[in-house]
C-alpha cells in the first residue's frame, strides 16, 4: 500500500500537468492564521505562488493525531471545564468558547431522530453498480475477489455515509468562514452538479480504500471471516487477495486523479500512507510501546481514523473551501475524533460482543497479540497484566487470563469514557455549522458510534 500511496500523487500530477485547477486555487489571504487553531494553520499552508507557477501542491501535511487532543484534559475547577469544554482550543468557527449545545451520553436519549443513513441513501443508491463497473478486469477471478465485499453483506457503508453527510453539511458554512477568514474563505463557485459529482466520487474512493485495507489486513492477520462471511484469501488464495486489494487501490488512485484537485489527492494519499504506517506499528511495536496508551491511539489513528478524517477534510475542500479555513478544520477535526471513538468502541466490543454479532471471533485482538484500550487501562490496576502484554499473549492461557482480569477492573468503563470524550469533541467541532439535516446526521452518527453493538 505504500507504493500505491506514492503513485496517487504521481498519477494526479501527470493527469493535471502539474497545474491545480482554478476551482481549487484559493487566495493567499485564506491562509491567515485563525484563532480556532493557530498551530495548525501555521504549519499547513499551501504554497499558492508555487501552484500558480505550475508546481505540484505541497501542503506540509501534518497528521491530525499530532494536532488534536488524544486524551481528556486533566480536571480543573474553571467554568470551561465544568461545562465540558477543552482548555486548549476554542470551538471552531467562533471567536470564543461556547458550552456544548449537545452533550453526548452513553445511556441517554439520542440527540435527534434523524437517520443519517436514510439522508444519503439516494446519494449512495448507485454505489454498488458503479463500484462493480469500476473494478471490472479481464481476469474473472480477480474481478470476483475485488467485488466480494461490495456484493456480500456490505453493511451500512459507514465511511461513504460520513463523506456524503459532511459534503452536504459544509454547503451552508460560508457565512461563518467569511466572518473568520475573509472573502477568500467563501466557497469557490462551482456548479452544484460538478461539486456533487466530485464529492460522490470521494465517497466511492473512501470505501474502495477501506475495503482494500480489509482484504490486506485479513491476509496479514490470517483471518478466516470478515463481516460474517469468508475472507477473500480463504475464498481464493493469498495471492489473489493481495492482488485484489492492490487493484482496488489502483482504481481508487485513478478516480482520485479525476477529481482534479491536487490538495485532495495529497490528503487522501496521506491516508493511504497512514494505513501502511498503522500496519507497521501493529507488527513492529516495542515492548515499551505495547504498554503506552498514546502509542495505541496513534496506531488507531493510522489504521482507522486517518481515512475518515482525511475524507471529511477532502469533502470540505471539494465544496470549495480553502485549506486551513475554519470549515475545513472543523470537518477534519470531526473525522479525527469520530474515527478514534469508533476504534475505541470497536476494541471494547472485542471484550463485550459475541462472534455472531461482531462478524468476527470475539477476543480476536488479543489472539493477534494486540493490547487495546480496555487492556491498557486494566494494566494500570493489575500490574500482572504487563508481562502478558509484552509477550503479546503468546503463552497458553494468556488470552483467557487477560480477559478475566480486564473484566475485573475499570478497563472497559474507562475505555467507554475515552470514546465518549472523542465523540463529544467530534460533535463540538461542528457545533457552529449552520443548522441542517446533514449536520444533525453527523451528530446522530457520533451517538450511534458510542451505542453500537457491532
Please tell me the pTM assigned to this model: 0.80
Kindly tell me if the per-residue pLDDT of 354 is higher than 90: no
- Other CB atoms within a 10 A radius of the CB of residue 72 amount to 16
Burial call 429-444: b when 16+ CB within 10 Å, e when fewer: bbbbbeebebbbbbbb
Whole-number percent of the chain with pLDDT over 90: 43
For 15-29, 264-278, 353-367, which range has the lowest pLDDT when averaged over its residues? 15-29
Of 283, 389, 263, 327, the C-alpha closest to 36 is 327
Q: What would the pLDDT profile of 386-435 be if each residue is shown by its tens digit? A: 999 999 999 999 999 999 999 999 999 999 999 999 999 999 999 989 89
Q: How confident is the model at residue 34 (pLDDT cuts 50, 70, 90)?
A: very low
How high is the pLDDT of residue 43? 41
* Rounded alpha-carbon distances, angstroms, from residue 236 to 207, 224, 242, 243: 22, 12, 10, 11
- Residue 118 has a pLDDT of 93
Range with lowest mean pLDDT among 92-106, 138-152, 331-345: 92-106
How far is residue 404's CA from residue 374's CA, in Å, rounded to a whole number?
A: 12
pLDDT for the residue numbered 214: 79
Q: What is the pLDDT of residues 114-129, one digit of tens each?
A: 999 999 988 887 766 6
The stretch 180-190 carries a mean pLDDT of: 43
- Taking the C-alpha atoms of residue 141 and residue 121, their distance in angstroms, rounded to an integer, is 30
Q: State which H helix or E strand residue 229 sits in.
A: strand 229-230
How many residues in total does the chain contain?
A: 454
Q: What is the pLDDT confidence band of residue 17, given thresholds at 50, 70 and 90?
A: very low
Q: Is 44 in a helix, a strand, or coil?
A: coil
* pLDDT, position 302: 96
Amino acid at each position: 500500500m505504500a507504493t500505491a500511496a506514492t503513485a496517487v500523487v504521481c498519477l494526479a500530477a501527470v493527469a493535471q500537468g502539474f497545474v491545480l485547477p482554478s476551482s481549487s486555487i484559493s487566495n493567499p489571504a485564506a491562509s491567515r492564521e485563525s484563532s480556532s487553531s493557530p498551530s495548525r494553520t501555521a504549519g499547513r499552508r499551501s504554497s499558492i505562488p508555487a501552484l500558480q507557477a505550475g508546481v505540484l501542491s505541497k501542503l506540509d501535511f501534518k497528521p491530525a493525531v499530532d494536532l488534536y487532543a488524544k486524551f481528556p484534559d486533566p480536571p480543573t475547577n474553571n467554568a470551561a471545564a465544568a461545562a465540558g469544554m477543552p482548555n486548549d482550543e476554542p470551538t471552531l468557527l467562533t471567536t470564543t468558547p461556547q458550552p456544548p449545545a449537545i452533550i453526548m451520553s452513553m445511556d441517554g436519549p439520542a440527540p435527534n431522530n434523524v437517520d443519517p443513513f436514510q439522508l444519503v441513501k439516494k446519494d449512495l443508491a448507485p454505489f454498488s453498480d458503479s463500484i462493480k463497473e469500476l473494478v471490472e478486469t479481464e481476469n474473472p477471478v480477480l474481478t470476483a475477489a475485488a467485488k466480494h465485499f461490495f456484493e456480500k453483506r456490505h453493511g451500512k457503508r459507514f465511511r461513504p455515509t460520513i463523506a456524503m453527510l459532511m459534503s452536504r453539511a459544509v454547503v451552508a458554512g460560508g457565512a461563518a468562514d467569511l466572518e473568520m477568514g475573509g472573502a477568500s474563505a467563501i466557497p469557490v463557485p462551482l456548479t452544484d452538479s460538478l461539486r456533487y459529482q466530485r464529492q460522490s466520487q470521494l465517497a466511492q474512493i473512501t470505501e474502495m480504500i477501506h475495503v482494500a485495507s480489509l482484504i490486506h489486513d485479513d491476509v496479514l492477520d490470517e483471518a478466516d471471516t470478515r463481516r460474517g462471511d469468508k475472507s477473500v484469501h480463504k475464498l481464493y488464495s493469498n495471492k489473489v487477495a493481495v492482488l485484489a486489494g492492490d487493484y482496488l487501490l489502483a482504481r481508487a488512485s485513478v478516480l482520485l486523479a479525476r477529481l482534479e484537485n491536487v490538495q485532495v489527492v495529497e490528503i487522501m494519499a496521506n491516508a493511504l500512507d497512514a494505513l501502511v504506517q498503522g500496519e507497521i506499528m501493529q507488527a513492529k511495536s516495542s515492548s515499551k510501546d505495547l504498554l503506552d496508551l498514546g502509542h495505541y491511539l496513534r496506531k488507531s489513528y493510522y489504521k482507522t481514523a486517518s481515512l475518515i478524517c482525511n475524507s471529511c477534510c477532502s469533502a470540505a475542500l471539494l465544496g470549495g473551501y480553502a485549506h486551513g479555513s475554519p470549515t475545513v478544520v472543523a470537518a477534519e477535526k470531526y473525522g479525527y475524533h469520530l474515527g478514534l471513538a469508533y476504534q475505541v468502541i470497536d476494541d471494547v466490543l472485542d471484550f463485550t460482543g459475541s462472534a455472531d454479532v461482531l462478524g468476527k471471533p470475539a477476543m480476536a485482538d488479543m489472539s493477534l497479540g494486540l493490547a487495546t484500550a480496555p487492556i491498557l487501562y486494566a494494566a494500570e490496576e493489575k500490574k500482572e497484566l504487563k508481562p502478558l502484554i509484552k509477550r503479546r499473549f503468546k503463552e497458553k492461557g494468556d488470552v483467557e487470563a487477560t480477559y478475566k482480569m480486564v473484566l475485573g477492573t475499570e478497563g472497559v468503563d474507562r475505555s467507554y469514557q475515552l470514546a465518549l470524550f472523542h465523540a463529544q469533541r467530534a460533535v463540538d467541532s461542528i457545533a457552529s455549522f449552520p443548522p441542517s439535516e446533514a449536520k444533525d446526521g453527523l451528530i446522530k452518527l457520533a451517538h450511534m458510534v458510542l451505542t453500537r453493538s457491532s
